Amino acid sequence: MEHSTNRVGESTIDRESEIRLTQMAEKDDVIANRVTGVRFILIVLSSRGMVYDVESLRQKVLLSYPDSTVFFQTTDGKPVGSVAPKSVDLLIDFTGPGQRQPFFHALTLRRRARFAVGRNAGMFRKKIYDRIYDEMSDSGNIPEEILKKERFVQKQVLNRAGIAFVQAGDVPPDLGKTIALELPPMQSIG
């Protein structure tokens, strides 16, 4: 089992515990990003690829904002499902760099929302949105493969919107071969 030590070298934490502690710290940061008084949420879906289907994304949002209603829209402004009201409390924009969108659509979306979160995809978003995830400046941490990249970036946008992301579907590492090596030797009964 891999262990890591702190600067002083006094205590050791195994890798899995370190990962869980990091996730807990991230969750605390996400909770601090929550927006108060949210009743209507508009999510603009990415045209490059959605990692979550609409219903699982709705579930993630409703776990963080239980008293809200979630509406979806495509990058070009067409509603997915029911039409969103003229003004919303929270805008989550997954539109990424290079994805086609009507000219000044980001300004139109921003005027509709009390609070806006999104990706830095140009067209003044860095100045007009309240919180931005800039994937261009964080390119060292982003995976290269398209769907893995979209998953990472969309998770970061959701975190900035105060939506906790709990990865529950990952399979833990197989420890069957390493556990036996860490057990003390068996004693013979004489």
DSSP 2-34: -EEE-SS---EEEHHHHHHHHHHHHHHHHHHTP
Among 119, 122, 124, 116, smallest CA distance to 161 is for 116
pTM of the model: 0.72
pLDDT of residue 190: 60
What is the phi/psi pair of residue 79, to 5°? -70, 145
Contact 77, 95 (CB under 8 A): no
Distance CA 112, CA 126 (A): 17
Collapsing DSSP to helix, strand or coil, 90 comes out as strand
Indicate the angle between helix axes 146-160 and 15-32, nearest 10 degrees: 50
Q: How far apart are the first and last CA of the chain?
A: 33
Query: Tell me, what amino acid is at 185?
Result: P
Tell how many helices (H) and how many strands (E) occur in the chain: 6, 8
pLDDT of residue 70: 94
Collapsing DSSP to helix, strand or coil, 91 comes out as strand
Distance CA 148, CA 143 (A): 6
pLDDT of residue 14: 82
Taking 70 as the pLDDT cut, the residues of the chain under it are 1-11, 122-123, 139, 165-173, 175-177, 180, 190
pLDDT of residue 4: 46
pLDDT of residue 5: 47
pLDDT of residue 98: 74
Collapsing DSSP to helix, strand or coil, 150 comes out as helix
